């Protein structure tokens, strides 16, 4: 993956749901966490 590629908001949302689901397997949680580490930060934009 190139340095400037980011996970989309839709994928990040799905990954978040997987991490919150107690029935998710360890492998599913690992993939979801990986996707979230590549998601852009939600924060205040610099002026």
Question: Mind listing the pLDDT tens digit for each residue in 2-20?
Answer: 566 778 889 989 999 999 9
Is 1 inside a domain boundary? no
Kindly tell me if the per-residue pLDDT of 25 is higher than 90. yes
Is 44 inside a domain boundary? no
Is 45 inside a domain boundary? no
Residues 6+ apart with CB under 8 A from 9: 39
Is 17 inside a domain boundary? yes
Q: What is the Cα 44 distance to its own chain's centre?
A: 19
More confident residue, 33 or 43: 33
Tally of domains within the chain: 1
More confident residue, 29 or 40: 29
- Supply the range of the domain harboring residue 14: 8-38
Look at residue 36 in the predicted model and tell me its pLDDT: 87
């Amino acid at each position: 993956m190139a340095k400037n590629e980011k996970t989309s908001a839709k994928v990040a949302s799905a990954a978040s749901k997987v991490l919150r689901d107690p029935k998710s397997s360890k492998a599913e949680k690992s993939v979801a966490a990986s996707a979230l580490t590549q998601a852009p930060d939600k924060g205040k934009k610099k002026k």
